[in-house]
């Protein structure tokens, strides 16, 4: 009876792993190359940033293609909510290379036939990505700032916002009420425990000028919105 239960648990675990999205980690960046996985990420409210050139128009950077680059906060949120797992892309491809380099003795024979047999069923080229899984503790930086920013990110996601990097608007994040292809961002979100008068003027005017609201979140996860009245 114990054996049956253990076998069932192992089966469920393997099935659950197959349903999760594999996220390859390449030099500390999470890059997704599979279009089906990108589509599934979008259904989860993760837009990411396309960073690959288009073969038909390689001399421009207005329209980009795969791979999709995920922020560290996107990746952490996906893993902690059991939608995906991280794996070491370099180790995975090294495993594929090692597997594919094993030579069949019949092929290495000088008297080999001029005909080859093509199998009717496919076989896996090597161990699956889950075998090279990276834990969230290995991936996540240990600094306090990252942990605090993730709390802000997670709070926005729990409220239904789509979240993207906010550097171009002078914030940590920009928050959209829905898919960025359909909506403009409404919030410029910054994490700060102290805000100077200069910050109030600069960022308040910037946010109002681009028709957004500047939102400041402190370490206690209290949020304050700043709007520059009579400007823009």
Q: Cα(219)–Cα(189) distance, rounded to whole angstroms?
A: 13
Please confirm, yes or no, whether 150 is among the known catalytic residues. Answer: no
Retrieve residue 137's tokens: 């503790």
State in Å, rounded, how far the first CA of the chain is from the last one: 71
Find the catalytic residue in 82, 145, 184, 211: 184
* Residues 189, 174 contacting (CB under 8 angstroms): yes
Considering the candidates 87, 153, 161, 176, report the single residue annotated as catalytic. Answer: 176
Active site residue 212: yes
**DSSP tag of 101:** T
Q: Give backbone dihedrals phi and psi of 86, rounded to 5 degrees, phi first.
A: -95, 145
Could you give the C-alpha distances from 77 to 21, 74, 81, 124, 164, in angstroms and in order?
Answer: 13, 5, 6, 30, 13
Catalytic residue of the set 87, 92, 153, 212: 212
211 annotated active-site: no
Burial class (CB in 10 A: 0-12, 13-18, 19+), 206: middle
- State the catalytic residues: 176, 184, 212
């Amino acid at each position: 009876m114990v054996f049956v239960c253990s076998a069932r648990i192992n089966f469920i675990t393997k099935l659950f792993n197959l349903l999760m999205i594999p996220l390859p980690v390449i030099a500390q960046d999470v890059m997704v190359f599979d279009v089906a996985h990108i589509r599934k990420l979008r259904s989860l409210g993760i837009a990411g940033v396309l960073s690959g050139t288009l073969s038909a128009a390689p001399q421009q950077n207005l329209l980009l293609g795969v791979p999709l680059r995920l922020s560290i906060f996107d990746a952490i949120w996906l893993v902690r909510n059991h939608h995906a797992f991280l794996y070491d892309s370099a180790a995975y491809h090294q495993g594929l290379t090692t597997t594919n380099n094993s030579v069949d003795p019949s092929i290495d024979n000088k008297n080999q036939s001029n005909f080859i047999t093509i199998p009717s069923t496919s076989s896996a080229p090597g161990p699956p990505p889950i075998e090279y899984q990276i834990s969230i503790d290995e991936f996540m930086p240990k600094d306090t700032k990252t942990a605090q920013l993730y709390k802000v990110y997670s709070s926005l996601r729990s409220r239904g916002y789509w979240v993207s990097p906010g550097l171009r608007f002078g914030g940590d994040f920009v928050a959209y009420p829905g898919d960025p292809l359909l909506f403009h961002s409404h919030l410029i979100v910054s994490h700060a425990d102290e805000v100077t008068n200069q910050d109030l003027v600069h960022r308040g005017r910037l946010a109002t000028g681009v028709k957004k609201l500047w939102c400041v979140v402190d370490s206690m996860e209290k949020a304050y919105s700043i709007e520059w009245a009579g400007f823009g």
